[in-house]
Structure 1
Amino acid sequence: MTIAVIDRPVTAGGEETILTAIEAPDAALAIWTRRLPPLFQAILATLDLDRLDDVVIDLDAGTPIHAALADAGYPDDAAALLAADIDRLVHCQSRLTGVQRLTVKLEVIETDACRRFHADYVTLRLLCTYIGPATQWRHADAPETIHALATGDVGVFKGRRRLDPPPILHRSPPILATGGRRLLLVIDPARSPDDL
Protein backbone atom coordinates (compact mmCIF):
# COMPACT_ATOMS: atom_id res chain seq x y z
CA MET A 1 0.00 0.00 0.00
CA THR A 2 1.31 3.44 -0.91
CA ILE A 3 0.83 6.00 1.82
CA ALA A 4 1.64 9.65 1.35
CA VAL A 5 1.74 12.12 4.17
CA ILE A 6 0.82 15.14 2.10
CA ASP A 7 1.47 17.65 4.82
CA ARG A 8 0.74 16.66 8.38
CA PRO A 9 -2.09 16.27 9.45
CA VAL A 10 -3.20 15.03 6.00
CA THR A 11 -2.62 11.48 4.75
CA ALA A 12 -3.52 10.03 1.34
CA GLY A 13 -3.24 6.68 -0.38
CA GLY A 14 -4.67 4.53 -3.12
CA GLU A 15 -6.43 1.94 -0.95
CA GLU A 16 -9.53 2.17 1.23
CA THR A 17 -7.53 1.25 4.34
CA ILE A 18 -5.79 4.64 4.20
CA LEU A 19 -8.96 6.14 5.69
CA THR A 20 -8.10 4.57 9.06
CA ALA A 21 -5.29 7.15 9.28
CA ILE A 22 -7.97 9.57 10.50
CA GLU A 23 -7.92 7.68 13.82
CA ALA A 24 -4.52 9.15 14.74
CA PRO A 25 -4.91 11.89 17.37
CA ASP A 26 -3.28 14.56 15.20
CA ALA A 27 -4.93 13.51 11.92
CA ALA A 28 -7.45 15.90 10.40
CA LEU A 29 -7.97 14.54 6.88
CA ALA A 30 -7.53 11.12 5.28
CA ILE A 31 -7.91 10.82 1.51
CA TRP A 32 -8.51 7.63 -0.44
CA THR A 33 -7.34 8.62 -3.91
CA ARG A 34 -9.27 6.59 -6.42
CA ARG A 35 -10.48 6.73 -9.97
CA LEU A 36 -13.97 5.45 -10.59
CA PRO A 37 -14.10 2.57 -13.10
CA PRO A 38 -14.71 3.65 -16.73
CA LEU A 39 -18.17 2.04 -16.85
CA PHE A 40 -19.16 3.87 -13.66
CA GLN A 41 -17.92 7.17 -15.11
CA ALA A 42 -19.75 6.55 -18.40
CA ILE A 43 -23.05 5.83 -16.64
CA LEU A 44 -22.69 8.88 -14.40
CA ALA A 45 -22.07 11.00 -17.52
CA THR A 46 -25.49 10.00 -18.88
CA LEU A 47 -27.41 11.16 -15.80
CA ASP A 48 -29.89 13.99 -16.30
CA LEU A 49 -29.29 15.86 -13.04
CA ASP A 50 -32.48 17.90 -13.57
CA ARG A 51 -34.56 14.75 -13.12
CA LEU A 52 -32.99 13.62 -9.87
CA ASP A 53 -34.23 14.36 -6.37
CA ASP A 54 -31.81 14.78 -3.52
CA VAL A 55 -31.51 11.79 -1.21
CA VAL A 56 -31.32 12.53 2.52
CA ILE A 57 -31.82 9.47 4.68
CA ASP A 58 -30.87 8.15 8.11
CA LEU A 59 -30.05 4.47 8.01
CA ASP A 60 -28.24 1.74 9.86
CA ALA A 61 -25.02 0.41 8.36
CA GLY A 62 -26.02 -2.64 6.35
CA THR A 63 -29.33 -1.16 5.18
CA PRO A 64 -29.18 -0.99 1.35
CA ILE A 65 -29.71 2.44 -0.19
CA HIS A 66 -30.75 1.20 -3.65
CA ALA A 67 -34.50 1.76 -3.12
CA ALA A 68 -33.92 5.36 -2.01
CA LEU A 69 -31.91 6.05 -5.17
CA ALA A 70 -34.58 4.50 -7.37
CA ASP A 71 -37.24 6.61 -5.62
CA ALA A 72 -35.13 9.72 -6.29
CA GLY A 73 -35.21 9.06 -10.04
CA TYR A 74 -31.87 7.35 -10.64
CA PRO A 75 -32.05 4.93 -13.59
CA ASP A 76 -31.50 1.27 -12.74
CA ASP A 77 -27.90 1.04 -13.99
CA ALA A 78 -26.80 4.20 -12.17
CA ALA A 79 -28.73 3.29 -9.04
CA ALA A 80 -27.07 -0.13 -8.91
CA LEU A 81 -23.52 1.22 -9.26
CA LEU A 82 -24.06 4.15 -6.90
CA ALA A 83 -25.79 1.95 -4.31
CA ALA A 84 -22.91 -0.53 -4.27
CA ASP A 85 -20.37 2.27 -3.79
CA ILE A 86 -22.42 4.17 -1.21
CA ASP A 87 -23.17 0.98 0.75
CA ARG A 88 -19.41 0.33 0.88
CA LEU A 89 -18.71 3.87 2.08
CA VAL A 90 -21.48 3.66 4.70
CA HIS A 91 -19.80 0.54 6.12
CA CYS A 92 -16.46 2.35 6.08
CA GLN A 93 -17.84 5.41 7.87
CA SER A 94 -19.59 3.20 10.42
CA ARG A 95 -16.30 1.47 11.24
CA LEU A 96 -14.44 4.79 11.50
CA THR A 97 -17.03 6.51 13.69
CA GLY A 98 -18.00 3.46 15.71
CA VAL A 99 -21.71 4.17 15.18
CA GLN A 100 -24.34 2.19 13.29
CA ARG A 101 -26.82 5.01 12.53
CA LEU A 102 -25.67 7.36 9.78
CA THR A 103 -27.08 10.22 7.75
CA VAL A 104 -26.49 9.80 4.03
CA LYS A 105 -26.98 12.70 1.61
CA LEU A 106 -26.60 12.45 -2.16
CA GLU A 107 -27.31 15.88 -3.57
CA VAL A 108 -27.06 17.77 -6.82
CA ILE A 109 -25.21 21.00 -5.99
CA GLU A 110 -25.60 23.94 -8.36
CA THR A 111 -24.94 26.89 -6.06
CA ASP A 112 -22.00 28.13 -4.05
CA ALA A 113 -23.32 26.44 -0.92
CA CYS A 114 -20.68 26.05 1.79
CA ARG A 115 -18.37 28.36 -0.15
CA ARG A 116 -16.48 29.47 2.97
CA PHE A 117 -13.74 27.32 4.40
CA HIS A 118 -14.98 25.68 7.58
CA ALA A 119 -14.93 22.59 9.79
CA ASP A 120 -18.20 20.85 10.55
CA TYR A 121 -19.59 20.24 14.04
CA VAL A 122 -19.43 16.45 13.68
CA THR A 123 -16.96 13.75 14.70
CA LEU A 124 -16.11 12.62 11.15
CA ARG A 125 -17.56 13.65 7.80
CA LEU A 126 -17.05 11.50 4.70
CA LEU A 127 -17.26 13.29 1.34
CA CYS A 128 -17.14 11.98 -2.21
CA THR A 129 -17.92 13.94 -5.37
CA TYR A 130 -19.20 11.71 -8.18
CA ILE A 131 -19.75 14.44 -10.79
CA GLY A 132 -18.13 17.85 -11.11
CA PRO A 133 -15.38 19.61 -9.17
CA ALA A 134 -14.61 18.06 -5.81
CA THR A 135 -14.22 19.47 -2.31
CA GLN A 136 -11.43 21.96 -1.68
CA TRP A 137 -9.36 22.04 1.51
CA ARG A 138 -6.59 24.06 3.10
CA HIS A 139 -4.61 24.37 6.29
CA ALA A 140 -6.25 26.77 8.72
CA ASP A 141 -2.99 28.70 9.04
CA ALA A 142 -2.25 28.81 5.28
CA PRO A 143 -5.24 30.47 3.59
CA GLU A 144 -3.34 31.21 0.38
CA THR A 145 -2.74 27.54 -0.51
CA ILE A 146 -5.85 25.67 -1.62
CA HIS A 147 -5.88 21.95 -2.39
CA ALA A 148 -8.70 19.86 -3.85
CA LEU A 149 -9.84 16.28 -3.83
CA ALA A 150 -10.32 14.74 -7.26
CA THR A 151 -13.69 13.55 -8.53
CA GLY A 152 -14.17 10.05 -7.12
CA ASP A 153 -11.78 10.53 -4.19
CA VAL A 154 -13.08 9.82 -0.70
CA GLY A 155 -12.12 12.30 1.99
CA VAL A 156 -12.76 11.80 5.69
CA PHE A 157 -12.52 15.08 7.58
CA LYS A 158 -12.24 15.22 11.35
CA GLY A 159 -14.85 17.63 12.68
CA ARG A 160 -14.90 20.00 15.62
CA ARG A 161 -16.30 17.31 17.91
CA ARG A 162 -12.94 15.54 17.69
CA LEU A 163 -10.45 18.28 16.89
CA ASP A 164 -11.00 21.90 17.86
CA PRO A 165 -9.54 24.17 16.71
CA PRO A 166 -9.39 22.38 13.36
CA PRO A 167 -6.07 22.44 11.51
CA ILE A 168 -7.78 21.61 8.19
CA LEU A 169 -10.75 23.48 6.71
CA HIS A 170 -12.80 22.58 3.64
CA ARG A 171 -15.42 24.05 1.33
CA SER A 172 -17.48 23.35 -1.76
CA PRO A 173 -15.70 24.74 -4.80
CA PRO A 174 -17.34 27.91 -6.13
CA ILE A 175 -19.34 26.89 -9.22
CA LEU A 176 -22.22 29.35 -9.54
CA ALA A 177 -20.53 31.55 -12.13
CA THR A 178 -19.41 28.52 -14.15
CA GLY A 179 -22.84 26.92 -14.59
CA GLY A 180 -21.30 23.66 -13.43
CA ARG A 181 -22.98 21.17 -11.14
CA ARG A 182 -21.83 18.53 -8.71
CA LEU A 183 -23.20 15.23 -7.45
CA LEU A 184 -21.97 15.09 -3.86
CA LEU A 185 -22.16 12.33 -1.27
CA VAL A 186 -21.98 13.25 2.43
CA ILE A 187 -22.03 10.66 5.19
CA ASP A 188 -22.20 11.78 8.83
CA PRO A 189 -23.07 10.08 12.09
CA ALA A 190 -26.83 10.56 12.55
CA ARG A 191 -27.74 13.24 15.07
CA SER A 192 -29.09 12.04 18.37
CA PRO A 193 -31.84 13.89 20.28
CA ASP A 194 -29.08 15.23 22.55
CA ASP A 195 -27.57 17.05 19.54
CA LEU A 196 -30.73 19.03 18.81
Structure 2
Amino acid sequence: MSNMAINNERQTAGAPPRHILSRYSFEGNTADVLSDIYREDTNMAIWQRTLSDKLAVAAEGILSRKPHLKASSIVSPETAVSTANEMIGLEGNASLFSEDIAQLVDMFCCLFDLRRAGLRIAALDRAMCPRFHVDRVPCRLITTYVGQATEWIPHDRVDRAKLGIGNQGQSDDASGLLKNSHAIHQLKRGDVALLKGERWEGNEGAGLVHRSPSISVTARRLVLTLDFID
Protein backbone atom coordinates (compact mmCIF):
# COMPACT_ATOMS: atom_id res chain seq x y z
CA MET A 1 0.00 0.00 0.00
CA SER A 2 1.29 3.50 -0.82
CA ASN A 3 2.01 6.13 1.80
CA MET A 4 0.69 9.66 1.47
CA ALA A 5 2.53 12.76 2.58
CA ILE A 6 0.05 14.92 4.45
CA ASN A 7 -0.57 18.47 3.29
CA ASN A 8 -2.22 20.66 5.92
CA GLU A 9 -2.39 23.81 3.84
CA ARG A 10 -5.66 25.74 4.21
CA GLN A 11 -7.38 27.88 1.65
CA THR A 12 -7.50 31.59 2.43
CA ALA A 13 -9.45 34.50 0.99
CA GLY A 14 -8.16 35.48 -2.43
CA ALA A 15 -6.09 32.29 -2.77
CA PRO A 16 -6.18 29.99 -5.83
CA PRO A 17 -8.94 27.36 -6.04
CA ARG A 18 -8.73 24.51 -3.55
CA HIS A 19 -7.84 21.99 -6.26
CA ILE A 20 -4.52 23.79 -6.72
CA LEU A 21 -3.70 23.96 -3.02
CA SER A 22 -3.80 20.26 -2.15
CA ARG A 23 -1.17 18.06 -3.78
CA TYR A 24 0.47 14.98 -2.28
CA SER A 25 3.19 12.48 -3.09
CA PHE A 26 2.53 8.75 -2.98
CA GLU A 27 5.22 6.11 -2.58
CA GLY A 28 5.34 2.34 -2.39
CA ASN A 29 7.62 -0.62 -3.02
CA THR A 30 5.66 -2.06 -5.94
CA ALA A 31 5.16 -0.65 -9.41
CA ASP A 32 1.39 -0.34 -9.07
CA VAL A 33 1.88 2.79 -6.92
CA LEU A 34 2.63 4.65 -10.16
CA SER A 35 -1.08 4.54 -11.06
CA ASP A 36 -1.69 6.93 -8.15
CA ILE A 37 -0.45 9.70 -10.45
CA TYR A 38 -4.03 9.76 -11.81
CA ARG A 39 -5.38 10.98 -8.48
CA GLU A 40 -6.37 14.63 -8.77
CA ASP A 41 -4.62 15.45 -5.49
CA THR A 42 -1.29 13.86 -6.51
CA ASN A 43 1.69 15.47 -8.22
CA MET A 44 4.24 12.72 -7.63
CA ALA A 45 4.22 8.92 -7.48
CA ILE A 46 7.35 7.00 -6.44
CA TRP A 47 8.08 3.33 -6.97
CA GLN A 48 10.75 2.71 -4.34
CA ARG A 49 12.66 -0.08 -6.01
CA THR A 50 16.11 -1.47 -5.29
CA LEU A 51 18.33 -2.18 -8.28
CA SER A 52 19.55 -5.75 -8.52
CA ASP A 53 23.29 -6.20 -8.05
CA LYS A 54 23.66 -7.21 -11.70
CA LEU A 55 21.73 -4.20 -12.97
CA ALA A 56 23.72 -1.85 -10.74
CA VAL A 57 26.99 -3.31 -12.06
CA ALA A 58 25.72 -2.99 -15.64
CA ALA A 59 24.87 0.68 -15.08
CA GLU A 60 28.28 1.37 -13.53
CA GLY A 61 29.92 -0.30 -16.51
CA ILE A 62 28.01 1.85 -18.99
CA LEU A 63 29.00 5.01 -17.12
CA SER A 64 32.63 3.90 -17.08
CA ARG A 65 32.69 3.12 -20.83
CA LYS A 66 30.61 6.12 -21.88
CA PRO A 67 31.33 8.92 -19.38
CA HIS A 68 29.91 11.56 -21.75
CA LEU A 69 26.83 9.65 -22.85
CA LYS A 70 24.00 11.90 -24.03
CA ALA A 71 21.43 10.03 -26.08
CA SER A 72 17.78 10.56 -26.87
CA SER A 73 15.25 8.93 -29.16
CA ILE A 74 11.55 8.34 -29.70
CA VAL A 75 10.78 4.73 -28.81
CA SER A 76 7.87 2.34 -28.55
CA PRO A 77 7.69 -0.71 -26.28
CA GLU A 78 8.58 -2.80 -29.34
CA THR A 79 11.70 -0.81 -30.29
CA ALA A 80 12.99 0.09 -26.82
CA VAL A 81 15.51 -2.76 -26.47
CA SER A 82 17.11 -2.28 -29.89
CA THR A 83 17.22 1.50 -29.47
CA ALA A 84 18.79 1.21 -26.03
CA ASN A 85 21.36 -1.25 -27.37
CA GLU A 86 22.33 1.29 -30.03
CA MET A 87 22.69 3.99 -27.37
CA ILE A 88 24.79 2.06 -24.87
CA GLY A 89 26.40 -0.78 -26.84
CA LEU A 90 26.45 -4.45 -26.00
CA GLU A 91 29.64 -4.71 -23.97
CA GLY A 92 29.58 -6.67 -20.72
CA ASN A 93 26.10 -7.20 -19.34
CA ALA A 94 24.66 -4.01 -20.85
CA SER A 95 21.73 -6.04 -22.18
CA LEU A 96 20.32 -6.07 -18.63
CA PHE A 97 20.21 -2.29 -18.75
CA SER A 98 18.45 -2.29 -22.12
CA GLU A 99 15.89 -4.77 -20.81
CA ASP A 100 15.19 -2.57 -17.78
CA ILE A 101 14.72 0.44 -20.04
CA ALA A 102 12.29 -1.54 -22.18
CA GLN A 103 10.30 -2.50 -19.09
CA LEU A 104 10.02 1.14 -18.03
CA VAL A 105 9.01 2.23 -21.53
CA ASP A 106 6.34 -0.47 -21.64
CA MET A 107 4.99 0.56 -18.21
CA PHE A 108 5.01 4.27 -19.12
CA CYS A 109 3.23 3.77 -22.44
CA CYS A 110 0.68 1.37 -20.93
CA LEU A 111 -0.07 3.64 -17.98
CA PHE A 112 -0.71 6.68 -20.16
CA ASP A 113 -2.05 4.89 -23.27
CA LEU A 114 0.83 6.09 -25.44
CA ARG A 115 2.19 4.50 -28.60
CA ARG A 116 5.62 6.08 -28.13
CA ALA A 117 7.67 7.93 -25.56
CA GLY A 118 10.64 10.28 -25.61
CA LEU A 119 13.62 8.43 -24.09
CA ARG A 120 16.72 10.23 -22.82
CA ILE A 121 19.77 8.69 -21.15
CA ALA A 122 22.48 10.98 -19.82
CA ALA A 123 25.77 10.66 -17.98
CA LEU A 124 26.19 13.78 -15.86
CA ASP A 125 29.13 15.29 -14.01
CA ARG A 126 27.28 18.42 -12.90
CA ALA A 127 23.76 19.46 -11.97
CA MET A 128 21.77 19.64 -15.20
CA CYS A 129 18.99 21.74 -13.62
CA PRO A 130 20.54 23.22 -10.46
CA ARG A 131 17.64 25.54 -9.57
CA PHE A 132 14.26 24.37 -8.30
CA HIS A 133 11.70 24.50 -11.10
CA VAL A 134 8.58 22.90 -12.54
CA ASP A 135 8.36 21.06 -15.86
CA ARG A 136 6.11 22.36 -18.64
CA VAL A 137 5.03 18.83 -19.53
CA PRO A 138 2.06 16.63 -18.62
CA CYS A 139 4.18 14.08 -16.75
CA ARG A 140 7.79 12.88 -16.73
CA LEU A 141 9.32 9.63 -15.53
CA ILE A 142 12.78 9.86 -14.01
CA THR A 143 15.11 7.29 -12.50
CA THR A 144 18.76 7.45 -11.47
CA TYR A 145 20.91 4.34 -11.97
CA VAL A 146 24.20 5.73 -10.67
CA GLY A 147 24.85 8.57 -8.24
CA GLN A 148 22.61 10.93 -6.33
CA ALA A 149 18.99 11.27 -7.39
CA THR A 150 16.54 14.14 -7.91
CA GLU A 151 15.65 16.54 -5.09
CA TRP A 152 12.07 17.79 -4.67
CA ILE A 153 9.86 19.88 -2.41
CA PRO A 154 6.38 18.90 -1.17
CA HIS A 155 3.64 21.15 -2.49
CA ASP A 156 2.81 22.69 0.88
CA ARG A 157 6.43 23.63 1.66
CA VAL A 158 7.25 25.84 -1.30
CA ASP A 159 6.45 29.46 -2.17
CA ARG A 160 5.88 29.23 -5.92
CA ALA A 161 6.09 33.00 -6.28
CA LYS A 162 9.85 32.57 -5.78
CA LEU A 163 10.33 30.25 -8.77
CA GLY A 164 12.08 31.60 -11.88
CA ILE A 165 12.37 35.38 -12.01
CA GLY A 166 10.50 35.53 -8.72
CA ASN A 167 13.74 34.70 -6.93
CA GLN A 168 15.07 38.19 -7.90
CA GLY A 169 18.52 36.77 -8.50
CA GLN A 170 18.82 35.12 -5.11
CA SER A 171 19.68 31.49 -4.45
CA ASP A 172 16.95 28.99 -3.68
CA ASP A 173 18.04 29.00 -0.04
CA ALA A 174 17.96 32.79 0.26
CA SER A 175 14.94 33.69 -1.91
CA GLY A 176 12.25 32.45 0.48
CA LEU A 177 11.30 29.61 -1.88
CA LEU A 178 11.58 27.06 0.93
CA LYS A 179 9.11 27.43 3.77
CA ASN A 180 11.48 25.69 6.17
CA SER A 181 14.99 24.27 6.20
CA HIS A 182 13.71 20.67 6.14
CA ALA A 183 11.58 21.12 3.02
CA ILE A 184 13.94 19.37 0.58
CA HIS A 185 13.36 15.66 -0.06
CA GLN A 186 15.45 13.40 -2.27
CA LEU A 187 14.77 10.30 -4.31
CA LYS A 188 17.09 7.31 -3.95
CA ARG A 189 19.08 5.52 -6.63
CA GLY A 190 16.77 3.08 -8.39
CA ASP A 191 13.55 4.88 -7.47
CA VAL A 192 11.17 5.31 -10.40
CA ALA A 193 9.26 8.56 -10.04
CA LEU A 194 6.46 10.13 -12.03
CA LEU A 195 6.54 13.92 -11.77
CA LYS A 196 3.28 15.59 -12.73
CA GLY A 197 3.95 18.82 -14.63
CA GLU A 198 2.17 22.06 -15.38
CA ARG A 199 0.57 20.75 -18.57
CA TRP A 200 -1.34 17.94 -16.91
CA GLU A 201 -4.98 19.03 -17.19
CA GLY A 202 -6.13 20.42 -13.85
CA ASN A 203 -2.60 20.62 -12.44
CA GLU A 204 -1.75 24.15 -13.55
CA GLY A 205 0.10 25.92 -10.75
CA ALA A 206 0.80 22.64 -8.97
CA GLY A 207 3.56 20.95 -11.00
CA LEU A 208 6.11 19.18 -8.80
CA VAL A 209 8.96 21.49 -7.78
CA HIS A 210 12.31 19.74 -8.18
CA ARG A 211 15.97 20.11 -9.19
CA SER A 212 19.08 18.11 -9.98
CA PRO A 213 21.27 17.36 -6.96
CA SER A 214 24.61 19.10 -6.59
CA ILE A 215 27.46 16.64 -7.07
CA SER A 216 31.18 16.78 -6.37
CA VAL A 217 33.73 17.07 -9.16
CA THR A 218 34.62 13.39 -8.78
CA ALA A 219 31.05 12.07 -8.77
CA ARG A 220 28.91 11.17 -11.76
CA ARG A 221 25.28 10.25 -12.40
CA LEU A 222 23.49 8.05 -14.94
CA VAL A 223 19.91 9.21 -15.40
CA LEU A 224 16.98 8.14 -17.56
CA THR A 225 13.84 10.14 -18.36
CA LEU A 226 10.70 9.35 -20.32
CA ASP A 227 8.34 11.98 -21.73
CA PHE A 228 5.06 12.19 -23.61
CA ILE A 229 5.35 12.32 -27.41
CA ASP A 230 1.86 11.49 -28.71
One-letter amino acid of the structure 2 residue matched with residue 155 of structure 1: A
- Counterpart CA distance in 1 for 2:100 and 2:143 is 10
One-letter amino acid of the structure 1 residue matched with residue 79 of structure 2: T
- Superposed counterparts of 1:15-26, under 5 Å: 15-26=30-41
Change in 2 beyond 3 A, CA 1:16/1:107: same
Match of 2:189 in 1: 151
Tell me how far 1:167 sits from its aligned partner: 5.5
- Counterpart CA distance in 2 for 1:74 and 1:129 is 19
**Which has the higher mean CA deviation after the structures are superposed, 143-152 or 47-56?**
47-56
User: What TM-score do the two structures reach when normalised by structure 2?
Assistant: 0.75
2:205 aligns with one of 158, 161, 165:
165
Change in 2 beyond 3 A, CA 1:84/1:139: same
Change in 2 beyond 3 A, CA 1:172/1:70: same
One-letter amino acid of the structure 1 residue matched with residue 2 of structure 2: I
Kindly, what percent of the aligned residue pairs are identical? 28
Number of equivalenced pairs:
188
Q: CA offsets per residue over residues 25-54 of structure 1, 9 Å max, x none?
A: 111000000100112122323341545632
1:116 maps to 2:131: yes
- Superposed counterparts of 1:67-146, under 5 Å: 67-142=82-157, 143=178, 144=181, 145-146=183-184
Which structure has more strand as a fraction of its residues? 1
- Counterpart CA distance in 2 for 1:133 and 1:51 is 16
Give the 3-state SS of the residue equivalent to 1:164 in structure 2.
Answer: coil
Give the 3-state SS of the residue equivalent to 2:223 in structure 1.
Answer: strand
- Counterpart CA distance in 2 for 1:117 and 1:51 is 26
Unaligned runs of at least 5 residues, structure 1: none
Whose Rg is larger?
Answer: 2
Unaligned runs of at least 5 residues, structure 2: 8-23, 158-177
